């Protein structure tokens, strides 16, 4: 890794110690400069054009390409602060960033979820996946969960809860319903002793990595002949709240969204009013068609 990338990564970690951005940006930068195969000072605007085309030919998603562009632009802005004679920034936002339309969250049908859960017999894995599915945790939040964040014996009138360090270092509280609470209690009773304070330990007795949790889910998906991601479990939790007519602001707090408009997209995948109005409209159309057919038959 270039020393400049290492310094940049350390700088990002000082700014946001709980965020995954330093790791992702460092990987993006290593990928770009390996592809460029020239000193960072020689990167040009046209190199960025070519890199975008290369990334698209490789089938990378728009969000991934835009994140890599953001990493590069931030890196050169960092160099502009750190160096007396910095290189010019080759990333031009209006030219390089790719527009993308609004994408709806991809949830999982309930029968598919049940099929998957039937295969997850291990207490640790079951607890991890249920925290995503029933409490809306991100995979990184499951990974970061420590024993000191778990409150299973609250005061009377309060629900068991988890204290989360969420995206961007933002803290929030989520509550435990009966199913994830029971799964978590079963796991904690058999959790092996460890010097690591993590709730979920891998086979080496250390805190899971995000990739490790994703690999565990992928293993069950292969057994079930399906493909489900950790984030889809979280999306399904959002859909369930919407179907239960939970106020949007409450869903926002439970999911840890900074902006209400992020939460509003769940209305599009489970809009009970739109469904009811559509069903009523189709009944009316069918009634009119039937009347027309009856009138034609009478003549």
Residues belonging to the active site:
138, 167, 231, 234, 257, 266
Q: Cβ of 8: how many Cβ atoms within 10 Å?
A: 23
Residue 168 Rama label (left phi>0; alpha psi -120 to 50; beta) = left
Per the CB < 8 A criterion, the answer to whether 162 and 151 are in contact is: yes
The length of the chain is 299
Burial code (b: 16+ CB inside 10 Å, e: under 16) for 158-191 equals: eebbbebbbbeeeebebbbeeebbebbeebeeeb
Per the CB < 8 A criterion, the answer to whether 5 and 27 are in contact is: no
Per the CB < 8 A criterion, the answer to whether 237 and 133 are in contact is: yes
Collect all residues with Cβ–Cβ distance below 8 Å to 250 and sequence separation of at least 6: 241
């Amino acid at each position: 890794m270039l020393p400049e990338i290492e310094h940049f990564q350390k700088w990002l970690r000082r700014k946001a110690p709980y965020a995954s951005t330093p790791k992702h940006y460092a990987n993006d930068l290593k990928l770009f400069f390996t592809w460029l195969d020239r000193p960072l000072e020689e990167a040009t605007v046209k190199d960025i054009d070519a890199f975008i085309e290369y990334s698209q030919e490789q089938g990378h998603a728009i969000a991934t390409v835009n994140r890599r562009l953001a990493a590069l632009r931030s890196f050169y802005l960092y160099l502009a602060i750190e160096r007396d004679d910095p290189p010019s920034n080759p990333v031009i936002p209006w030219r390089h960033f790719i527009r993308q339309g609004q994408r709806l969250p991809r949830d999982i049908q309930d029968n598919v979820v049940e099929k998957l859960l039937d295969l997850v017999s291990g207490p640790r894995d079951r607890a991890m996946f249920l925290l995503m599915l029933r409490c809306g945790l991100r995979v990184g939040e499951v990974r970061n969960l420590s024993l000191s964040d778990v409150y299973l014996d609250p005061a009377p009138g309060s629900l068991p809860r988890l204290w989360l360090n969420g995206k961007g270092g933002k803290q929030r509280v989520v509550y435990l319903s009966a199913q994830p609470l029971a799964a978590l209690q079963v796991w904690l009773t058999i959790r092996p002793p460890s010097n690591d304070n993590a709730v979920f330990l891998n086979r080496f007795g250390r805190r899971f990595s995000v990739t490790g949790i994703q690999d565990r889910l992928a293993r069950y998906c292969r057994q079930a002949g399906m493909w489900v991601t950790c984030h889809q479990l979280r999306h399904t939790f959002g859909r369930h709240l919407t179907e239960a007519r939970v106020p949007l602001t409450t869903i926002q707090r439970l999911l840890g969204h900074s902006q209400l408009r992020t939460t509003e997209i769940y209305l599009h995948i489970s809009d009970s009013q739109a469904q009811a109005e559509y069903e009523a409209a189709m009944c009316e159309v069918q009634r009119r068609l039937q009347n027309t057919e009856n009138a034609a038959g009478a003549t």
